[in-house]
Structure 1
């Protein structure tokens, strides 16, 4: 008998298998007309998009925990997932979560599985921040326990996190890279991120080309999208740019900036071309008349020859040379011709 997917009875019966040629079909969307235009309309659409993301995350959680018994676990019975899906957490958002749980408790349970190697310990699929907040408050954690394989675990973790509005492109790409490094196939990565083959390929291109130390030095950079990360990734086709970027990101004035600022700064730093080394030029030659009334400073750059006269009658002597340039040049050519004939 074929192994039954432990998540199959939790998701919608109409859901289709995600393949390279069969991306997730979008639900029919209602047409929304925005009364506001310009800046007001953009703000309205942005707020609606964030709300839709939050609703989607809640819906996925509801499907994954539907029909299951919620139990309470002590914080020391719970470990984080075996694979990280975030680079950093917002301190402000976490403080807000702690305060909300302090006032009204834990609204929704987290999803855990029995630890594959440790008896009595559970591993988080999603809900890391809620578990951390409960630990800080000294309270038990409300959780649903499911027996998940590694594949089912990362799919549940990835789908729940991908639906959230505060997950950046780099964090999604990093999650994809860690899944690939642990041997998960492309189909599993696509399912975990609810992304098609092309999108996943671009994510992996970014994390495989930008060194880990550089990605960590920049941070999540929520406002930086796929195209700009891809542009930065091309800079590391030049091997020496890795050390150059790591050194730059370690500077104190850069470390204290926001992730988006660090991204922009290091991008500009790597795009800046090194100034060519100055060519050493010979010191000017000097001609001095024996009796001293006239002296000349002589400079040559290969195709240019400059004589600067310095004396009381420099202007008159210079005018004389100018008036006799034709005669001087003819004398020069004649002398050169004679030397060639010798």
Structure 2
């Protein structure tokens, strides 16, 4: 679902105001509230126009973050790209805010955190829609917007789910917010609950690392002695300067080598993979080999163009490979 449609779906119909302003009582009524405010009902309003809704400009100094975090640090490249775009062309899409439930004359971000951060950095007001909503509607809107974002990694979604769970949100609400089933939610909570928080924070968003590899890393981190190994690696000089995916790869490989791996092993070994970055982050790739299969997956800004270049020059590249192989064999 596009972000504009998502904005329509959230502000198309107001939700019932909470009985009281505090969130402490939500844990007892979250499940029943989720029946009234579901993603289905929000999606039904996505086709409606924003009739009667006003986009206003608000000082970012008056805006606080959502009560549940959904991002890790280490996404500076995407932030700088968004900042440059807004600086040159302005903020096209408004953010969604709600009146702060605990502080008068302040606002809380429902979604659009990076746009608020950009406005703060540029010293300009934020274009926003302000909508009264309770915590359940807030969680559903923020979670649905997360699902629509392709750049949110598995571990960020897992931490978002764990944060909601720790705040007392019902599992039914979390599943609806992230549009996932109970099995995937259990896996997310297991990963986010087993891998120590300081290790996850040190790694960062790890955009190229998916669920299976995080679950494998979780099994390593379930052994206390392996956590000590990870801590020694985190303290290594220069580790904090590496990109997020490389941090994960190094931690995973070094802990496996030096630490104590769990006794129960998978029947088949996980194919070895490594990450590659060039052009100051304009092109990134994950390179893997399993038996005779060799795969290269490209992402980031130049991925499409570079991929086309490779595909158009495969014959020439293979010919050069054969030529070098023959020279090596005859020398």
Shorter chain as normaliser: what TM range? Answer: 0.5 to 0.7
TM-score for the superposition, normalised by structure 2: 0.63
Q: 2:193 & 2:259 partners in 1: Cα distance?
A: 26
Q: 2:74 & 2:259 partners in 1: Cα distance?
A: 36
Which secondary structure state, in structure 2, belongs to the residue aligned with residue 184 of structure 1?
coil
Corresponding residue to 2:193 among 208, 225, 230: 208
Which secondary structure state, in structure 2, belongs to the residue aligned with residue 252 of structure 1?
coil
Q: 2:208 & 2:181 partners in 1: Cα distance?
A: 22
Describe the superposition over 1:130-154 as per-residue Cα deviations: whole angstroms up to 9, x where unpaired.
1111122222111111111112111
Superposed CA RMSD = 1.8
Question: Mind listing any 5+ residue stretches in structure 2 that lack a counterpart?
Answer: 13-51, 261-331
- Asked if the contact 1:73–1:142 (Cα under 8 Å) also holds between the matched residues in 2, the reply is yes
1:59 aligns with 2:44: no
- Asked if the contact 1:217–1:246 (Cα under 8 Å) also holds between the matched residues in 2, the reply is no
Which secondary structure state, in structure 2, belongs to the residue aligned with residue 240 of structure 1?
helix
Question: Equivalences for 1:174-189 in 2 at 5 Å?
Answer: 174-189=159-174
Q: 2:5 & 2:60 partners in 1: Cα distance?
A: 25
1:155 aligns with 2:140: yes
1:227 aligns with 2:173: no
Deviation at 1:99, TM superposition (A): 2.2
- Asked if the contact 2:75–2:205 (Cα under 8 Å) also holds between the matched residues in 1, the reply is no
Which secondary structure state, in structure 1, belongs to the residue aligned with residue 223 of structure 2?
coil
Describe the superposition over 1:142-200 as per-residue Cα deviations: whole angstroms up to 9, x where unpaired.
11111111121111111112211110000000100111111111011111111111111
Aligned residues: 221
Judged with a 3 Å threshold, the aligned counterparts in structure 2 of structure 1 residues 134 and 245 are, in CA distance, closer, same or farther, namely: same
Question: Equivalences for 1:1-342 in 2 at 5 Å?
Answer: 56-66=2-12, 68-273=53-258
- Asked if the contact 1:113–1:124 (Cα under 8 Å) also holds between the matched residues in 2, the reply is yes
Moved more, 226-235 or 253-262: 253-262
Q: 1:216 & 1:178 partners in 2: Cα distance?
A: 14
Question: Mind listing any 5+ residue stretches in structure 1 that lack a counterpart?
Answer: 1-54, 276-342
Q: 1:184 & 1:159 partners in 2: Cα distance?
A: 15
Describe the superposition over 1:250-291 as per-residue Cα deviations: whole angstroms up to 9, x where unpaired.
21232222111111111111212569xxxxxxxxxxxxxxxx
Which secondary structure state, in structure 1, belongs to the residue aligned with residue 97 of structure 2?
strand
Describe the superposition over 1:61-109 as per-residue Cα deviations: whole angstroms up to 9, x where unpaired.
3422455221121112211111110002522222222222222221011
